[in-house]
Amino acid sequence: MRETKHELIKAGADLFLRRSYQGTGINDILGATRIPKGSFYHFFAGKEDFGLAVIDYQAEAVRARWAALLEDASLSPLRRIQTLFDRGAERLAASDFAGGCPLGTMAQEMSGLSERLRQAVNTALQTVEGQLAACVREGQESGDITKDVEAAAAAQLVWYAWQGGLIAAKAARSTVPLEDLKRIVTEYFLPDA
């Protein structure tokens, strides 16, 4: 069944996020899904190939999740970004601070392992940064967000800070760093002074 392949990728995404790529063995994935090894190597040429599939899956999942929030016309652009912080903090706490941003953790770990994996993650990172920039631009047009800074630059700063904030929150086992960051970013985005 084609479903098997997808099951493996989903389990891989979950385990890679929680225990990292190098910390997760093929057998862990097989154990979690109760799929035999023969199937795994039928669908994937090896662990790296599998890793690439997981990255693609995560890239699309993150993109879709952010799109759902950042393009939600029922909220003002600034509110959308604030909601992003809330949801992210909730997700992190729900994973008992084991997760974080799938793309961030993968970027950190995989960039040095394989050129193919590095490129895939890099593209995904830039896509999300672009999504954020579009929302900032929309907020500037509607007067929701200050025009004092260039949208692309502001998005870059906030996107990077978000990644750093997730690391800090994970290290602190607390959502406080993300709540602080939300407040600081909100202030940063507010028009005037």
Partner DNA sequence: GACAAAATAGACAGACCGGTCTAGTTAGTG
Partner DNA sequence: CACTAACTAGACCGGTCTGTCTATTTTGTC
Q: Contact at 8 Å (CB) between 26 and 15?
A: no
Query: Using CA atoms, how far apart are residues 184 and 64, in angstroms rounded to an integer?
Result: 26
Question: How far is the CA of 112 from the CAs of 22, 44, 76, 108, 146, in angstroms?
Answer: 12, 21, 39, 8, 38
Nearer to its own copies, 10 or 170 (CB): 170
Binding-site member from 145, 181, 182, 189 for its own copies (CB under 8 A): 181
Q: Does 19 bind DNA (CB under 7 A)?
A: no
Nearer to its own copies, 3 or 115 (CB): 115
Q: Does 94 bind its own copies (CB under 8 A)?
A: no
Q: Which does 168 bind (CB under 5 to 8 A by kind): its own copies, DNA, none?
A: its own copies
Binding-site member from 36, 143, 164, 191 for DNA (CB under 7 A): 36
Q: Does 4 bind DNA (CB under 7 A)?
A: yes
- Of 54-62, 65-73, 135-143, 153-161, the window that binds its own copies (rule: CB under 8 A) is 153-161
Q: Contact at 8 Å (CB) between 96 and 161?
A: no
Q: Contact at 8 Å (CB) between 95 and 136?
A: no
CB atoms closer than 10 angstroms to residue 35: 17
- We find the least distance from the C-beta atom of residue 67 to DNA, in angstroms, to be 30
Nearer to its own copies, 43 or 57 (CB): 57
Q: Contact at 8 Å (CB) between 137 and 73?
A: no
Nearer to its own copies, 35 or 149 (CB): 149
